[in-house]
A and B are shown apart, each in its own frame.
Chain A
Amino acid sequence: MRQSFRRMMTIVRKEWLHIIRDPRTLALVIVLPVMMLFLLGYAVANDVKDIPLAVADLSHTDTSRTLVDKLTVSEFFMYTHAAQSENEILAMMDAGIVKAGLYIPESFGRDVSTGGVGTIQFYIDGSNPTIAQTAQLAAETISQSMSQEILIKRLERSGTGMQLGLPVDVRMRYLYNPDMKRMNFMIPGLVAIILQVQTLLLTAFAIVREREQGTLEQLIVTPVRSWELMLGKILPFVVVAFVNVVMTVAVGAIWFGVDVVGSSALLAGLSLIFLLGSLGLGVLISNISKTQMQAMYLASFIMMPSFILAGLLFPRENMPWLAYYAGYFLPVTYFLEIVRGIILKGADFFTLWVWIWPMAVFSIVVFFASVLLFHKRL
C-alpha cells in the first residue's frame, strides 16, 4: 500500500513537470477558461435592450398613444421610425432597419371606446431568436396590462359608483435572474464546460502522449500498477480543473456580478463527482486512440453534443423534442441544472437530488469502467 502510494505520487510529480514545461498544455489550462469567460461576457452576452421599433399609428387616439408610450418606456423597445401603413413597416423590417413593428389600425380607438375588441398587429423579426423571444414577451406583457387597465375603466364607467383598483396587478418578475442578465446563464455553463472539456482533453492527451512518445512501453515494464498510473495521471488535472473553476466563479462574481447564492462546498463536492465522469471518459478515449489527433476527434464526438444538447449555450426548452430528450443522456445536462441551481437559486442537496443521482451513477460507472479497462500492455 505504501509502495503503491509512492509510485502514484511519482507519477503525479512527473505529470506536474510535464504541465509546467509544456507551454501548449499550460496555455490550454490557463488561457482558455479566461478567454471564454471574457468572450462570452462581452462578445456574446449582449442583453436584449432597445429593440428598434417602427410604429404606424393610424388611430391617433389617447389609447393608442398610451400603448406606444408604454412600449417605449419599457427599455425593451426604442421608437426609431414612424410609418404610415402596414406595408411601410414590412418594408422597413425587410431592410433590417427595425426589428419590430407595431401597426395600429384606424378603427382601434373606436373599437376600444365602444366596448369592443381593439385589434393591433405586432411584427417581430424572428431571425434572431433571442431578440424575438424578448420582444414577444415584452409586447404581450405590456398589452395585457394595458387591457386590464381599460377593462377597469369600463367597469368604473358602467356605474357601480365605487372606485375599483386593479383586481389583480400582474407584474412580471423574473426569479433567479432578475435582470435577465446573460452572464447568469453563461457562468454556470462555463463551469460545466471547463470540467467537461478541459479535464477530458487533458487526461486523454496525457495518456496518449505516452503511447505516442514510446514512453508507455518503458512504463509497462516498471512495477507501477495500471490504477496507480491512471490515478497518478488524473490527480494533477483534478487540481487544475478545481483552480479553474474557482477562478471562473470568482471572476464571475467580481467582474460580472454573478454571485454564488448557494453553498460553495456543495458546488465543489458535486463538481468533483462530475469530474470523475469526465476524467473517466478521457481515459476511455485514450484507451482506443493511438495518437493525440485521434483522441481529439473522439473527444469532439462527446463535446459537440454536450455544448448543444445539454443547454450550455442555448436553453433546452426551445429544442425539438428529440434533441430535448437526447439531452438526458448526457451527464453534463444534469450537472448544468445543479450548477445553475446552486449559483443562481441557492438550491440545496435535497432540491437537487433528482439531478444529482443520475449524474453520480453515470460518473461512478464510467470512472470504474475506465479504471478496469485501462491496461498496461501494448
Chain B
Amino acid sequence: MAISVEALLLTKQYSSQPKGSRPALDAVDLHVEAGQLYGLVGPDGAGKTTLLRILSTVMNPTSGSARLMGYDVNKQAEQIRSRLGYMPQAFSLYPDLSVMENLRFFADINGVSHGKQKSRIDELLEFARLTDFTSRRSENLSGGMRKKLALACALVHEPEILLLDEPTTGVDPVSRRELWQLLAKVIQQGVTVLVSTPYMDEAERCNMVSIIYQGRILTTGAPVDLERQMPFRIVEVKAKPRGTLRQVVDKIDGGYGWRAVGDRLRLSVVDPAGVQARIKANLETAGAQISILREARILMEDVFIYLVEQQEKQA
C-alpha cells in the first residue's frame, strides 16, 4: 500500500511557549496509508491541531519532517496544496457569503474549471444535503450544516487527501452520525482521510487510530487490535443503592481501577470471572440489589485511560 502521509520526528515548540517546557508536539511519527480513514484521537490540548496544521502546510514544524503524497510540507507546499483538502477546527468559511458563494469561491481559487464546477457543486450539495439552502448565508446555518458546508468546500477540488480537525466537536449527536456517514462515502471514493477527534468512541469508526496525549503518540493500531492488546478485561456492574456499590467496588483490587460511566461502574481487571464472583458475593452480603453484572467489551476510552496511567507511572 502506498503511504499518503508520513511524518518523522515532528516537533513543534511555539515561540510563545517558555524554553525548556514540554513542546506542543514531541517527536511524532505518523504513517497513513492511502485510502485509509485514520483517526487522531486525544483530549484537549494534546496537539492534534498543531499536527494537522503542520501536515496541511499552514505552519512550519520546529524540527522533523513530513511528506504528503511524497511532497515535503516545508519545501513543496504548492504541490501539496492543490491535492489537499483541509478543514480547520474553527469555522473558517466566509460568514457573509452564501452557501453557493462559498462553494464557488473555493472552486475558483482551487482552479476547478468552469465546465466541471457546476456538476461538482451540485454533487456536493446533494452529498451534504444542502441543496435547499444554497442562498442562505453561512453565518445563518446551524452548527451541523456549517461543518457539512466546510466539508463540501474542502472537497470541491477533488483532493487526494483530506485532513479534518475535530469535525464533530460542537455538533449535535444526529449531525455527528451524519458527518461520519459522509466520511465513509468520501473514503469509498478513494480519498485518504485523516481526522482528529477528542471523542474516544468515534475512534472505533476508523481503520487506524493514533492516540495522542501531551504532544506524544501513545499508541497506533486498528481499534480492534488495540483493544485486544490490553492486559485487562472489563467488568460492568450496576446495583442499588449506589453508595454501597461504590464501597464494595473500592475494596476489590481487580488490577487496573474503575470508573463510572453513566449509572454503571466499569472495572479494568485481570481476572474477570473471579472479580465478578467476589463482587456478587460482597454486594449480596451488603444487601444491595444487582441489576447488571457482566464482562463488557473494551472501549477506546478504556484503552486511553490505561495508556495515560501507564505513561504517568513512568514519569
A interface list, Cβ under 8 A from B: 3, 6-7, 10-11, 13-14, 17-18, 21-22, 213-215, 217-224, 377-378
Chain A residues within an 8 Å CB radius of B92: 213-215, 217-218
Say how far B70's CB is from chain A's closest CB, in angstroms. 18
Say how far B71's CB is from chain A's closest CB, in angstroms. 13
Task: State which residues 80-136 of B face A: CB under 8 Å.
Answer: 81-82, 84, 86, 88, 90-97, 101, 105-106, 108-111
Task: Evaluate whether A17 and B58 lie within 8 angstroms (CB atoms) in the complex, with A7-B108, A10-B108, A214-B91 already known.
Answer: no
Chain A residues within an 8 Å CB radius of B101: 14, 17
Main secondary structure of the interface of A (DSSP, over half): helix
Q: Is the CB of B96 within 8 A of A22?
A: yes
A35–B198 CA distance with the chains assembled, in angstroms: 53
A215–B106 CA distance with the chains assembled, in angstroms: 11
Chain A residues within an 8 Å CB radius of B111: 3, 6-7, 223
A220–B81 CA distance with the chains assembled, in angstroms: 8
Q: Is the CB of B94 within 8 A of A18?
A: yes
Encode contact with A along B51-63: 1 for CB under 8 Å, 0 otherwise: 0010011111000
Q: Is the CB of B58 within 8 A of A220?
A: yes
Q: Is the CB of B97 within 8 A of A217?
A: no
Task: Evaluate whether A377 and B60 lie within 8 angstroms (CB atoms) in the complex, with A7-B109, A10-B109, A223-B111 already known.
Answer: yes
Chain B residues within an 8 Å CB radius of A22: 96
A122–B246 CA distance with the chains assembled, in angstroms: 101
Q: Is the CB of B93 within 8 A of A215?
A: yes
Task: Evaluate whether A222 and B109 lie within 8 angstroms (CB atoms) in the complex, with A14-B97, A22-B96 already known.
Answer: yes
Chain B residues within an 8 Å CB radius of A224: 109
Give A11's nearest chain B residue, CB to CB.
B109
A214's partner among B81, B88, B96, B153 (CB-CB below 8 A) is B88
A40–B247 CA distance with the chains assembled, in angstroms: 82
Q: Is the CB of A378 within 8 A of B95?
A: no
A11–B110 CA distance with the chains assembled, in angstroms: 12
Q: Is the CB of A220 within 8 A of B57?
A: yes
Q: Is the CB of B95 within 8 A of A213?
A: yes
A18–B138 CA distance with the chains assembled, in angstroms: 13
Interface core residue of B57, B90, B93, B109 (most chain A CB under 10 Å): B109
Q: Is the CB of B86 within 8 A of A221?
A: yes
Q: Is the CB of A223 within 8 A of B82?
A: yes
Say how far B94's CB is from chain A's closest CB, in angstroms. 6
Chain B residues within an 8 Å CB radius of A21: 96
Chain A residues within an 8 Å CB radius of B78: 223
What 4 A-B pairs are tightest by C-beta distance, nearest first?
A10-B108, A218-B92, A214-B92, A214-B90
Chain B residues within an 8 Å CB radius of A378: 53, 58-59
Given A6-B108, A378-B53; 16 other pairs, CB 8 A cutoff = A7-B108, A10-B105, A14-B97, A213-B92, A213-B94, A213-B95, A214-B91, A217-B58, A217-B88, A217-B90, A217-B92, A218-B92, A221-B58, A224-B109, A377-B59, A378-B59
Chain A residues within an 8 Å CB radius of B56: 221
Q: Is the CB of A218 within 8 A of B81?
A: no
Chain A residues within an 8 Å CB radius of B96: 17-18, 21-22
Say how far B27's CB is from chain A's closest CB, in angstroms. 22
A135–B108 CA distance with the chains assembled, in angstroms: 65
Say how far B243's CB is from chain A's closest CB, in angstroms. 47
A21–B102 CA distance with the chains assembled, in angstroms: 14
Chain B residues within an 8 Å CB radius of A3: 111
Task: Evaluate whether A223 and B110 lie within 8 angstroms (CB atoms) in the complex, with A17-B101, A21-B96, A215-B93 already known.
Answer: yes
Interface core residue of B53, B92, B95, B97 (most chain A CB under 10 Å): B92
Chain B residues within an 8 Å CB radius of A214: 88, 90-92
A21–B96 CA distance with the chains assembled, in angstroms: 7
Say how far B295's CB is from chain A's closest CB, in angstroms. 46
B58's partner among A11, A223, A377 (CB-CB below 8 A) is A377
A6–B106 CA distance with the chains assembled, in angstroms: 12
Interface core residue of B60, B81, B86, B108 (most chain A CB under 10 Å): B108
Give A220's nearest chain B residue, CB to CB.
B58
Chain B residues within an 8 Å CB radius of A7: 108-109, 111
A219–B96 CA distance with the chains assembled, in angstroms: 16
Chain B residues within an 8 Å CB radius of A223: 78, 81-82, 109-111
Chain A residues within an 8 Å CB radius of B110: 222-223
Say how far A13's CB is from chain B's closest CB, in angstroms. 8
Q: Is the CB of B94 within 8 A of A215?
A: yes
Q: Would you mind naming 17 contact pairs between A and B with Cβ atoms under 8 Å apart?
A: A6-B111, A14-B101, A18-B96, A21-B96, A214-B88, A214-B90, A215-B94, A218-B92, A218-B93, A218-B106, A220-B57, A221-B57, A221-B81, A222-B109, A222-B110, A223-B109, A378-B59
Chain A residues within an 8 Å CB radius of B60: 377
B84's partner among A13, A221, A377 (CB-CB below 8 A) is A221
Say how far B306's CB is from chain A's closest CB, in angstroms. 35
Chain B residues within an 8 Å CB radius of A377: 58-60
Q: Is the CB of A17 within 8 A of B93?
A: no
Say how far A227's CB is from chain B's closest CB, in angstroms. 13
A13–B110 CA distance with the chains assembled, in angstroms: 15
A353–B153 CA distance with the chains assembled, in angstroms: 51
Give B98's nearest chain A residue, CB to CB.
A17
Q: Is the CB of A17 within 8 A of B53?
A: no
